[in-house]
Amino acid sequence: MTVARARALAVLACFAVGLPGTAEAYLHLGIDAGGRTVSIRWTAPRPRWFASDRGVLSVSATEFQAEVAQAFASWEAVPTASIGFQFTGFTGALPLEDDGLSVLGFREEPDLDRVLGATSFLVDVLTSEIIESDVFFNSVFPWSVSPTGEAGRFDLRSVAMHEIGHFLGLGHSAIGETERLAEGRRRVLATGAVMFPISLGRGVVADRTLQPDDIAGASDLYPDGDFRTRTGAIAGRARLGSAGVLGAHAVAFNPRTGSLIAGFAVGSDGAFRIGGLTPGPHVIRVEPLDDADLESFFSSLDVNVDFQVTFHPRLIVAPAGGAGPDFDVAVRAK
């Protein structure tokens, strides 16, 4: 078996990510397979995971396992996705070790002083199957398992929800707004996805609930039943003058349901495709990818962020089981 290890730093971390050939609403983690990027995913039925037997001051190992199990259950409950994992037991092994076990647990990483957690993978590069995945939660931060949150502490389950999204093979979502602070830091104004790369902050438990963009991303990677026939897609192109806008972030808003689901222009032609949409008309908003570090989304793309936020003047209809006609969104330089 040919395997390669790829580390995916999740929260507050620079994260190098590839793109699948048919990019849908969200980024999936991928590997290069002969010049083509292929999404990584679990293929084994109900892969097993272990919980580290090491707790921290405010969270025991048992509490840790219970919170992570709840986070897994939330992803498994997505009705349009076929996701299932099984807790096997506690282990003395630490996460991020190549030991054949998928381990989730605390680990002290003082050098990663802006990283709440991270996910790593062992992947079969021939089949793109995930063989092993570890998640660590940085024990240098204060943690909480309080259902309503605890001031000054990060909610363990919220961060687990994000990391388990990576564990599934999901990349980061860019549905979120931030403002820049000193020393390269950012303050989160808002997020519309659990998979946004920056935490909502201490004491906040809002990321315990998956958002439409998260659900669409998981369902696209692990579709269940008639997901692809019951949902629709839109396909468009962001252009500045006659040139495509590489890295443009396109958000589809459904004025009937209020859902926000997004995609990226991953080619030089500015083409994007957003899938997993409830059939019906959508408002299309195209924005520069400037609310998180670009490395959180793309590793090697020359992304254009020098244009204005733009709404498309037409409502774009996502038909059930397919995509409507292509359309162009003309943006203007800042």
Partner 1 sequence: MWALVVVTALGWTAGVLPSSAQSLSTPVGHVEVSAGVGLLGGATFGEQAASERAGGTGDPYRLFNTETELASSGAFEVRVGVPVTSRFTLEGRASRGRPELRTSISGDAEGAPSLTAVERVDQYLIDGGVVVRLNEWRIWGLVPFAAAGAGYLRELHEGQTLVEDGHLYYVGGGVTHWFFARSRGVVRAAGLRADVRMNLLSGGVFFNDTLRRQGTVFGSVAVVF
Q: Judged by CB under 8 A, does residue 4 bind partner 1?
A: no
Among the listed residues 192, 174, 153, the one whose alpha carbon sits nearest the alpha carbon of residue 67 = 153
Q: Judged by CB under 8 A, does residue 293 bind partner 1?
A: no
Give the position of tokens 């290890």: 5
CB-nearer residue toward partner 1: 5 or 256? 256
Binder to partner 1 among 24, 163, 220, 287 (CB under 8 A)?
A: 287
Binder to partner 1 among 99, 146, 319, 330 (CB under 8 A)?
A: 319
Do residues 272 and 248 make contact, with C-beta atoms less than 8 angstroms apart? yes
Binder to partner 1 among 23, 188, 246, 265 (CB under 8 A)?
A: 188
* Phi, psi (degrees; rounded to nearest 5) at 215: -65, -40
Binder to partner 1 among 4, 77, 126, 190 (CB under 8 A)?
A: 190
Sign of CA dihedral 307, 313, 315, 318: negative
Q: Judged by CB under 8 A, does residue 204 bind partner 1?
A: yes
Residues 6 or more apart in contact with residue 31 via CB below 8 angstroms: 4, 6, 18, 37, 38, 40, 123, 125, 128
Strand, coil or helix: what is 242?
Answer: coil
Number of residues that bind partner 1 (CB under 8 A): 45
Torsion of the alpha carbons at 157, 163, 167 and 170, rounded to the nearest 10 = 120
Q: Judged by CB under 8 A, does residue 330 bind partner 1?
A: no
| DSSP letters for 151-175 | TTSEEHHHHHHHHHHHHHTB-----
Binder to partner 1 among 147, 256, 306, 328 (CB under 8 A)?
A: 256
Give the position of tokens 């926000």: 260
Q: 153 to each of 9, 140, 143, 162, 199, how far by Cα in Å?
A: 20, 11, 5, 17, 12
Q: Judged by CB under 8 A, does residue 192 bind partner 1?
A: yes
C-alpha to C-alpha distance for 131 and 136, rounded to whole angstroms? 17
Do residues 132 and 95 make contact, with C-beta atoms less than 8 angstroms apart? no
Q: Judged by CB under 8 A, does residue 305 bind partner 1?
A: no
Minimum distance of partner 1 from residue 228's CB (angstroms): 16
CB-nearer residue toward partner 1: 46 or 314? 314
Q: Judged by CB under 8 A, does residue 14 bind partner 1?
A: no
Q: Judged by CB under 8 A, does residue 301 bind partner 1?
A: no
Q: Judged by CB under 8 A, does residue 172 bind partner 1?
A: no
For the segment 217-236, give every residue that binds partner 1 (CB under 8 A).
Answer: 232
How far from the centroid of its chain's Cα atoms is residue 322's Cα?
Answer: 24
* Phi, psi (degrees; rounded to nearest 5) at 183: 60, 30
Part of the chain binding partner 1 (CB under 8 A), chosen from 12-20, 160-168, 188-196, 217-225: 188-196
C-alpha to C-alpha distance for 268 and 247, rounded to whole angstroms? 8
C-alpha to C-alpha distance for 42 and 79, rounded to whole angstroms? 18
CB-nearer residue toward partner 1: 189 or 243? 189
Minimum distance of partner 1 from residue 296's CB (angstroms): 16
Q: Judged by CB under 8 A, does residue 258 bind partner 1?
A: yes
Q: Judged by CB under 8 A, does residue 260 bind partner 1?
A: yes
Binder to partner 1 among 18, 95, 171, 176 (CB under 8 A)?
A: 176
Q: Judged by CB under 8 A, does residue 313 bind partner 1?
A: yes
Binder to partner 1 among 126, 308, 326, 328 (CB under 8 A)?
A: 308
Binder to partner 1 among 226, 255, 306, 328 (CB under 8 A)?
A: 255
Give the position of tokens 């962001």: 238
List residues near partner 1 by CB under 8 A: 175-178, 187-192, 200-201, 204-207, 232, 253, 255-256, 258, 260, 279-281, 283-285, 287, 308-320, 322, 324-325
